[in-house]
Amino acid sequence: MFFDYGLHVSLALCAAGLAYKVWGWLSAKVGPEGAEFSPAARALWALRGVVGLLLGARAFKFVWALIVDGLLQRRVLRASAYRWVMHMCIFVGFVLLTLLHAMGPIVSNALFGDYQATLNPFLFLRNLFGLMVLLGVGMAIWRRLRAPGVRATNRGVDVLAIVVVALIIFSGFALEALKIDSPREFERMVAEYADPEAADEVAALRLFWSRDYGVVFAKDQTPAFSPELYDQGRQLSEDSCLSCHDKPAWAFASFGLARLIRPAAVALAESGAAEGLWFIHVLACFVGLALLPHTKFMHLISSPLIIAINAANERAAMHPANRATVRAMELDACTHCAACSVRCSVAAAMAQVANPAILPSEKLHALARMAHGKGLDQHDLRRIRQGADICTDCHRCTDLCPVRINLQDLWQAQKQDLERAGQGETFKALRDRAVSAAQPSRQQKVVRLGQRQFGAGLDLSGRAQSFAGCFRCKTCTTVCPVVQECADVKAEIDLAPHQIMHALGLGLREEALGARMIWNCLSCYRCQEACPQGVRVTDIMFELTNLAGRDGRVKEA
């Protein structure tokens, strides 16, 4: 009864969770397109997109990517043979266990006829597939603990997935080992398939099964060995048991475990340990099934879909409604393998800026929270904004993602969402505050020169020798591409590069920090390379922007 009720409840929870996920794909707001279309409109456009894909020339690309990259994991193999072996051990082992064992009465019966879990090759295959899963889990644990870049991204969902899978496999091996040793299992089979009143036959079966099948009986229940009794037991076993029982040594892993626990086998059987382990094993399977849509296991469905969709479609060519839906699906397709974070070009910034949102895998998690409207205060949004600003858009994470998630597109959508949430570009906001701080000084007719406190906080731009050689020849201004694009320098960037150098020489703090030129500087180094006096103009510009960020007068309150 527990099995039937538990199976139906876990299936119902899984179905409800999948429906909730589909609703999330249609309602999550990632990028400006997410707010433009209702869930119903997005569902309609998604249906049209699926029909157009399957009936068009792109169907071959879709199916090919689904098989080669979704099932065979070609992209993972290209990136890392270790990760490919790890993934395939877990995936292949668990899927085959599900098909040939959990669904054995349905699948195995259809493929092989009369299925019995205690017959070979099912004994051998079940142990082989179980060990494959454990090998993959062990490799995953080693990678999570030993790889520094991966270790920094570990979250509870990663631990939960490993614990659930390991619990299912370990409890399965332990349960089979207990059944191999258990005299209670033997007595149950005798009562069901033999004549328990025939004492001589039961004694013969006990002798044979204790020697050839590994069953452990209490000392007072184990008959003394005699060739005649052994032969009688073998004959009875061939007549009544051989059709559904092969020798348990074929279950090599469970049989080895049964040998280890043999001294305690009788006590374990009398305590009902096998029944307890069966409950734990089945409950762990039901919990994993019920939690599938809400854990990393969801990538079993969403990842192959995203791989195939992105292989067959260009993001820019998608209808805006479908673009929003695919972005939402990508949030669930992430396996949190941390391949993007390990190879991120700005991951080193974590050593100075303790903000996990710098790393792509964690930034994606933050984006998922934003898209689904989960409570984020302004502090959280500022940290996410900081991670978005540090990103260099180098495209490395997108190129390395084994699931083909278009991370570059998601990062651009994230920046747009942050601006709508009141978190505009960090340097733009800082520039605007610096410009505002410079306005009072610019309205004065007389200014005080040589502010020593200002100079004390500078390095390149505060040392007199940095720009002492500048004689305002305007070469830096002449070659500057920013100046060349300005119709009115004063109105658009306030000060030209040579004027900023002059302001620094005079110690004009607000004018130097408030000039929009330093915020619009491209850091192309043309001015510095062209300067006949060797003034480090670009380095000084860069230092000024960082100084403004540290300056209390332009910090956000």
332, two tokens: 């669930």
Percent residues over pLDDT 90 in the chain: 38
Domain ranges across the chain: 2-179+290-300, 181-271, 427-550
pLDDT tens column, 66-124? 999 999 999 999 989 999 999 999 999 999 999 888 887 788 777 777 778 888 888 99
261 to 170, 253, 257, 267: CA distances (angstroms): 15, 13, 7, 10
Q: What is the pLDDT of residues 288-302, one digit of tens each?
A: 999 999 998 999 999
- Over residues 221-245, the mean pLDDT reads 83
Say yes or no to pLDDT of 448 above 80: no
219 CB neighbour count, 10 Å cutoff: 6
pLDDT at 451: 47
Of residues 64 and 186, which shows the higher confidence score?
Answer: 64
pLDDT in tens, 195-219: 767 778 888 888 888 888 888 888 7
- Which residue would you say has higher pLDDT here, 547 or 347? 347
CATH 1.10.1740 fits 427-550, yes or no: no
- How high is the pLDDT of residue 287? 94
Mean pLDDT, range 344-369, rounded to an integer: 86
Mean predicted lDDT score pLDDT of the chain: 85
Query: DSSP character for 225?
Result: P
Direct distance between the N- and C-terminal alpha carbons of the chain, in angstroms, rounded to an integer: 63
Cβ-proximal residues to 366 (8 Å cutoff; 6+ apart), any chain: 357, 380, 384, 387
DSSP string covering 41-109: HHHHHHHHHHHHHHHSTTHHHHHHHIIIIIIS-HHHHHH-HHHHHHHHHHHHHHHHHIIIIITHHHHHH
pLDDT for 549 beyond 70: no
What region does 474 belong to: left with phi over 0, alpha with psi -120 to 50, or beta? Answer: left
Share of the chain above pLDDT 70, in %: 90
Calculate the alpha carbon distances from 149 to 144, 160, 162, 343, 349 in Å. 9, 20, 19, 8, 12
Long-range contacts of 187-196 (CB under 8 A, 24+ apart): 189/241, 193/240, 193/241, 194/236, 194/240
Position 534 scores a pLDDT of 84
d(CA 181, CA 259): 8
- What phi, psi does 439 have (nearest 5°)? -60, -45
**Helix, strand or coil, per DSSP, at residue 376:** coil
The answer to whether the beta carbons of residues 140 and 90 sit under 8 Å apart is yes
pLDDT higher than 50, residue 452: no
Question: Is residue 64 pLDDT above 80, yes or no?
Answer: yes
Q: What is the DSSP letter of 279?
A: H
What is the average per-residue pLDDT within 455-483?
A: 71
pTM of the complete model? 0.75
Query: 298 with 20: CB under 8 angstroms?
Result: no
Q: What's the rounded mean pLDDT across residues 329-348?
A: 90
Contacts of 386 by beta carbon, 8 Å cutoff, 6+ apart: 353, 355, 357, 358, 426
For residue 28, pLDDT over 80 is answered with yes
Q: From CA 43, how far away is CA 329, in angstroms rounded?
A: 13
The predicted pLDDT at position 453 comes to 46
Q: Does position 521 have pLDDT exceeding 60, yes or no?
A: yes
Residue count of the chain: 557
Looking at residue 454, its pLDDT comes to: 45
Which has the higher per-residue pLDDT, 139 or 489?
139
Mean pLDDT, residues 376-385 taken together: 84
| C-alpha 476, offset from chain centre | 48
pLDDT at site 445: 56
Amino acid identity for residue 330 in this structure: E
161-178 pLDDT, tens per residue? 999 999 999 999 999 999
* CB 66 within 8 Å of CB 363: no
Burial class (CB in 10 A: 0-12, 13-18, 19+), 149: middle
